[in-house]
């Protein structure tokens, strides 16, 4: 061995590289990831991809089954279904991502404060979370939608406000255990303030579980939106969302089953993909919980 | 243990009060009074209506008289069904919703636990993948899609089962119960698989096998008790989800239960009905969460220490 060899520093494998390697081996999770990227891309580019407008009607046509002109058929107003599914996807994904971002923001902030403060403050803050857990939130969202009308922004906020509780618990637990470790002491003795310690040292170390839970929250949120739209309390026609398309598909499923089957398939496949990706990420980022 | 039970009961009271207060003021904050959409009525009639529903009083007084009535179990009159009280409508709807929820829960428990246990016995084989794949379908297929699809296939195409109703034609309870139960069956399958896998590798099972117990006794008597802890703790929250799930299922199958009343009240802006049902359902959910917490603590001695 020459001295030159000794100077070659072995490349360390970071936690993230390690997780990525593990994730790549999980075929279901990767299939989910690819599917989601594809759907997101298609939905983002919809206005430039499709030949029809989402409210463009062709009443002479009525509902026709899938054909060369309309790949997934048309609805009773003669609107192209593929176009509406893609525009609906924009709505459903937007709700999924924005509401989850709201939940992420509230949950991480709240959990970090509780975990870092500890003691009595932590106790009081977590009692509040326990109390909110017991509230029937589905009922409250319906209530909010009834009282304040079907406001999209409110829908995002309301769903986000429901989903932050588990996030807060997870972050708080992580921070509570990280807080005791030496690198935090080192940061304190270097004179860093609490905000810098939490933001720069603690939260990055708690990211794994946060990412996993975020991935699993998105399908929940999308389901909630679809459910509300199905009940007529969410997105309103002529705008489209997957829940709304399913809801109107149900009304005519006897005569025009394709109006129920295609939006249903799209929603189910997307939820499948998100759940598989979430499970895969959990196994990849936290090998301890990988049961097998 | 008693200390824990009493503490949990005391914690539930402020939650219920919060629900009542929040709902009451939220509904008062809604734009437009409950009668504003009606045809124009003379001011005298308007005043008489408002007096009848106590809307002429200051809001705080309304709140406290509502609380006082509530303490007697009186949820007040409804706006949209003249002469009927919220109590009566709840009494009409509750048994139906409870029956639906019970069947759904039974389906979920039987299917879910069976699938989870079967899968956990041979992890990462076909015996694991098939039931767990089915569980994933159950979780990802929302009830408002599964219900109509079942109706389409079994009700319309095959004509085996009725497409709607509850208790009027034989077999009409089957599809709604399956629709409501499917998702929980999926969750319960995953929870019991994870719980069983945790337990199956433990020493006390090796002891049980070592003393010569037949395998089915080891699994059914020794492993199942520990392996099902996660399922028991899930039952409380599951109850809340079942209730909100019943809103959808009752709407799809036109079942005259509580959930359908609630959705109708929401659309009709029947404020007293919404308020009454919300308070009732919320209390129910809080009580069930409480019971499930207490049951989980009784079953799992490790949870008790933090309250000693």
Interchain CB distance below 8 Å, B144 and A131? no
Question: How do the pLDDT tens digits run along chain B, 308 residues long?
Answer: 677 778 778 877 887 888 888 888 887 776 655 555 555 667 777 777 677 667 777 778 888 888 888 877 777 777 777 777 888 888 888 888 888 999 999 999 999 999 999 998 888 888 888 888 889 888 888 888 898 888 888 888 888 888 777 877 777 888 899 999 998 899 899 889 988 888 888 888 888 888 888 888 888 888 888 788 888 778 777 877 787 788 888 888 888 888 888 888 877 777 788 888 888 888 888 888 788 777 777 776 666 555 44
Q: Give pLDDT, residue A9.
A: 66
* Cα–Cα dist B30/A151, whole Å: 14
Q: What is the ipTM of this complex?
A: 0.76
More confident residue, A67 or B87: B87
CA B272 to chain centre: 22
**pLDDT tens-digit map of A246-283:** 888 888 887 888 888 888 899 999 998 988 888 888 88
Q: Give pLDDT, residue A288.
A: 56
**pLDDT tens-digit map of A134-185:** 666 777 777 777 777 767 777 777 788 778 888 888 888 888 888 888 888 8
Residues of chain B in contact with residue A143, where contact means CB-CB under 8 angstroms, are 23, 26-27, 266, 274, 278
Contact B245, B145 (CB under 8 A): no
Question: Has residue A83 got a pLDDT over 90?
Answer: no
The angle formed by the CA atoms of residues A111, A202 and A32, to the nearest 5 degrees, is 75
Mean pLDDT of A223-230: 84
Pick from A130, A143, A230: CB nearest B278: A143
* Cα–Cα dist B291/A73, whole Å: 50
- Helix A258-285 with A81-117: angle, nearest 10 deg: 30
Question: Has residue A291 got a pLDDT over 50?
Answer: no
Q: What is the DSSP letter of A288?
A: G
- The percent helix, strand, coil of chain A (3-state, each to 5) is 75, 0, 25
Considering only alpha carbons, which residue of chain B is nearest residue A264? Answer: B145
H-helix or E-strand spanning residue A114: helix A81-117
CA B52 to chain centre: 34
Interchain CB distance below 8 Å, A147 and B194? no
Interchain CB distance below 8 Å, B26 and A144? yes
Q: Give pLDDT, residue A161.
A: 78
Residues of chain A in contact with residue B136, where contact means CB-CB under 8 angstroms, are 272, 275-276
- Best probe of the A interface among B31, B129, B148, by most A CBs < 10 A, is B148
Residues of chain B in contact with residue A127, where contact means CB-CB under 8 angstroms, are 11
Considering only alpha carbons, which residue of chain A is nearest residue B252? Answer: A250
Please write down the HEC assignment for all residues of chain A. Answer: CCHHHHHCCCCCCCHHHHHHHHHHHCHHHHHHHHHHHHHHHHHHHHHHHCCCCCCCCCCCCCCCCCCCCCCCCECCCCCEHHHHHHHHHHHHHHHHHHHHHHHHHHHHHHHHHHHHHCHHHHHHHHHHHHHHHHCCHHHHHHHHHHHHCCCHHHHHHHHHHHHHHHHHHHHHHHHHHHCCCHHHHHHHHCCCCHHHHHHHHHHHHCHHHHHHHHHHHHHHHHHHHHHHHHCCCCCCCCCCCHHHHHHHHHHCCCCCCHHHHHHHHHHHHHHHHHHHHHHHHHHHHCHHHCCC
Pick from A135, A249, A260: CB nearest B19: A135
Categorize the per-residue pLDDT at A290 as very low, low, confident or very high, splitting at 50, 70 and 90. very low
Q: Give pLDDT, residue A150.
A: 67
- Helix B143-150 with B229-252: angle, nearest 10 deg: 60
The angle formed by the CA atoms of residues B247, B250 and B256, to the nearest 5 degrees, is 115
Pick from B15, B29, B144: CB nearest A134: B15
- Best probe of the B interface among A29, A128, A136, by most B CBs < 10 A, is A136
CA A223 to chain centre: 10
- C-alpha distance from residue A148 to each of A152, B35, B269, B281 (Å): 11, 17, 11, 21
Return left, alpha or beta for B16; rule: phi > 0 is left, psi -120 to 50 is alpha, else beta. Answer: alpha
Question: How much of chain A, in percent, has pLDDT values that exceed 90?
Answer: 5
Residues 6+ apart with CB under 8 A from B15: A131, A134, A135, B286
* Cα–Cα dist B77/B88, whole Å: 9
Pick from B149, B251, B274: CB nearest A146: B274
Contact A172, A115 (CB under 8 A): yes
Question: Has residue A292 got a pLDDT over 50?
Answer: no
The angle formed by the CA atoms of residues A147, A151 and A156, to the nearest 5 degrees, is 110
Q: Give pLDDT, residue A3.
A: 60
A292: tokens are: 């097998």
Q: Give pLDDT, residue B57.
A: 75
Which of A103, A122, A100, A124 lies closest to A113 in space, CA to CA? A122
Which of A162, A164, A158, A163 lies closest to A110 in space, CA to CA? A164
Pick from B14, B248, B278: CB nearest A231: B248
**Hunting for tokens 């359908």 — which residue is that?**
B260
Considering only alpha carbons, which residue of chain B is nearest residue A232? Answer: B267
Question: Has residue A15 got a pLDDT over 80?
Answer: no
Mean pLDDT of A36-57: 81
More confident residue, A264 or A292: A264
- Please state, as a whole number, how many other Cβ atoms lie within 10 Å of the Cβ of residue B197: 18
B298: tokens are: 């009784």
* Cα–Cα dist B252/B229, whole Å: 33
């Amino acid at each position: 061995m020459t001295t030159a060899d000794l100077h070659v520093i072995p490349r360390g494998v970071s936690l993230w590289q390690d997780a990525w390697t593990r994730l790549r081996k999980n075929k279901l999770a990767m299939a989910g990831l690819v599917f989601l990227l594809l759907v997101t891309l298609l939905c983002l580019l919809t206005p430039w991809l499709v030949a029809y407008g989402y409210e463009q009607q062709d009443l002479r046509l009525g509902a026709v089954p899938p054909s060369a002109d309309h790949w997934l058929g048309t609805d009773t107003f003669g609107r192209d279904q593929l176009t509406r599914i893609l525009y609906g996807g924009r709505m459903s994904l937007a709700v999924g991502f924005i509401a989850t971002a709201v939940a992420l923001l509230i949950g991480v902030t709240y959990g970090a404060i509780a975990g870092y403060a500890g003691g009595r403050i932590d106790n009081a803050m977590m009692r509040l979370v326990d109390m909110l857990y017991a509230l029937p939130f589905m009922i409250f969202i319906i209530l909010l939608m009834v009282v304040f009308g079907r406001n999209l922004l409110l829908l995002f906020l309301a769903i986000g406000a429901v989903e932050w509780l588990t996030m807060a618990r997870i972050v708080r637990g992580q921070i509570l255990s990280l807080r005791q470790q030496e690198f935090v002491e080192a940061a304190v003795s270097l004179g860093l303030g609490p905000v810098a310690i939490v933001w720069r040292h603690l939260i990055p170390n708690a990211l794994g579980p946060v990412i996993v839970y975020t991935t699993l929250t998105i399908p929940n949120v999308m389901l909630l939106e679809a459910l509300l739209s199905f009940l007529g309390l969410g997105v309103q026609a002529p705008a489209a969302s997957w829940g709304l398309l399913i809801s109107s598909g149900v009304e005519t499923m006897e005569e025009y089953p394709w109006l129920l089957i295609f939006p249903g398939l799209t929603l189910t496949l997307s939820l499948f993909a998100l759940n598989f990706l979430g499970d895969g990420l959990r196994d990849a980022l936290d090998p301890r919980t990988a049961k097998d | 243990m008693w200390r824990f039970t009493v503490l949990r009961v005391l914690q539930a009271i402020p939650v219920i009060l919060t629900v009542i207060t929040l709902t009451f003021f939220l509904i008062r904050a809604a734009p437009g009074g409950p009668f504003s959409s009606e045809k124009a009525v003379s001011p005298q009639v308007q005043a008489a209506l408002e007096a009848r529903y106590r809307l002429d009083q200051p809001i705080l007084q309304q709140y406290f008289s509502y609380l006082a009535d509530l303490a007697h179990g009186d949820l007040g009159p409804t706006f949209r069904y003249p002469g009927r009280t919220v109590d009566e409508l709840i009494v009409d709807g509750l048994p139906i919703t409870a029956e639906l929820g019970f069947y759904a829960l039974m389906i979920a428990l039987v299917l879910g636990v069976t699938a989870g246990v079967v899968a956990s016995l041979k992890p990462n084989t076909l015996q694991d993948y098939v039931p767990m794949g089915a569980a994933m379908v159950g979780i990802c297929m929302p009830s408002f899609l599964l219900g109509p699809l079942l109706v389409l296939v079994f009700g319309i195409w095959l004509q085996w089962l009725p497409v709607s109703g509850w208790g009027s034609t034989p077999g009409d309870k089957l599809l709604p119960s399956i629709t409501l139960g499917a998702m929980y069956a999926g969750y319960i399958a995953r929870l019991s698989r994870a719980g069983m896998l945790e337990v199956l590798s433990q020493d006390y099972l090796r002891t049980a096998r070592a003393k010569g117990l037949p395998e089915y006794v080891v699994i059914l008597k020794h492993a199942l008790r520990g392996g099902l802890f996660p399922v028991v703790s899930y039952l409380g929250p599951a109850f809340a989800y079942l209730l909100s799930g019943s809103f959808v299922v009752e709407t799809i199958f036109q079942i005259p239960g509580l959930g359908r009343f609630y959705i109708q009240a929401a659309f009709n802006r029947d404020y007293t009905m919404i308020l009454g049902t919300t308070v009732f359902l919320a209390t129910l959910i809080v009580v069930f969460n409480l019971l499930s917490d207490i049951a989980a603590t009784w079953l799992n001695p490790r949870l008790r220490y933090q309250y000693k």
